Amino acid sequence: MKRTASEEMAVERTHRRHEVEPLQTIDRLSLNQITTDRWSLREAAEGCVRAGVPWIALWRHKVAEAGLQESRRIIRDTGLQVSSLCRGGMFPAATAAEREARIDDNRRAVDEAAELGADTLVLVCGPAPDRDIDAARAMVEAGIERLVPYAESCGIRLGIEPLHPMYAAERSVIVTLEQANAVARAYAPEQVGVVIDVFHVWWDPKLYEGIADAAGRIVGYHVSDWIVPTPDLLMGRGMMGDGVIELRRIRAAVEAAGYNGPIEVEIFNRELWDRPGDEVLALMKERYLEHV
């Protein structure tokens, strides 16, 4: 069968893609601690030190388990850098009082991020409280508008993370990079940026356009893989290289848009969670250099 013009272009693009250089070091590698969910914050931090991983991304429930001051001490003592705190957001709610309570909780998340030396708070924006997804999107915008002055006063940047559309009903009504960019654009890049997680955005026909439009505003980059067949909505992420995501091409686009910060490995996967953390970190380093 003769190739069409668009097929020819695709083939050529594939060839160009192979020219993207692999990463030579793990200087930018960050363990998002959900990847080693069985580890406490201290265990994860010490695991990073043993593995020579210089960055870590923390989750609030893990910080709460260890205690905020103790978490801060652990981070300081291990010398790790905190790439982000997960997570603020969850803005939509049925009543004004509930929405106000969410804002209060987001302020606490900002405080924690500042205390831990993270400069970015990741926002998972939340689902609708009812069937009205547009109203929920308006509540997200209103919530961010409320939060920005406080976050700025604490030196914390908000990072809107578009989630995969399969989470639209349960986790976030912000589901495309285009949408996240549109919300972020109302603010200075130091106030509000976007967090790009390959698992959430890889399917998007407008992905590379969205990445280019996010130039100067990308405040986080997360990697994992989309495995086939996909076993589960939440726990189906795979280690880089085990799935179908064009990791190197996406990284090249993100770098071309000006992002050279930490690269978080964030994997929800029961099988990985059941393995010893040190093994997971060894595999993560190997796959990072090979596939990211």
166 belongs to the binding site for a copy of itself (CB under 8 A): yes
Min dist. Cβ of residue 260 to a copy of itself (A): 24
Cα 231 to the chain's mean position, in Å?
21
Measured from the CB atom, the residue of 205 and 216 that comes closer to a copy of itself is: 205
Measured from the CB atom, the residue of 165 and 189 that comes closer to a copy of itself is: 165
215 belongs to the binding site for a copy of itself (CB under 8 A): no
Measured from the CB atom, the residue of 7 and 27 that comes closer to a copy of itself is: 7
On whether the CB atoms of residues 210 and 176 are closer than 8 A, the answer is: yes
* β-strands 157-160, 237-238 pairing: unpaired
Stretch that binds a copy of itself, among 36-44, 109-117, 139-147, 253-261 (CB under 8 A): 139-147
Q: How many residues bind a copy of itself (CB under 8 A)?
A: 51
How would you class 224 by CB atoms within 10 Å of its CB: exposed for 0-12, middle for 13-18, buried for 19 or more?
Answer: buried
Measured from the CB atom, the residue of 140 and 151 that comes closer to a copy of itself is: 140
4 belongs to the binding site for a copy of itself (CB under 8 A): yes
132 belongs to the binding site for a copy of itself (CB under 8 A): yes
Measured from the CB atom, the residue of 68 and 138 that comes closer to a copy of itself is: 138
226 belongs to the binding site for a copy of itself (CB under 8 A): yes
Q: Cα–Cα distance between 169 and 270 in angstroms, integer? A: 23
Q: Which region holds residue 153: left if phi is over 0, alpha if psi is between -120 and 50, else beta?
A: alpha
* β-strands 225-226, 237-238 pairing: antiparallel
171 belongs to the binding site for a copy of itself (CB under 8 A): no
Q: Structure tokens of 106?
A: 């987001």
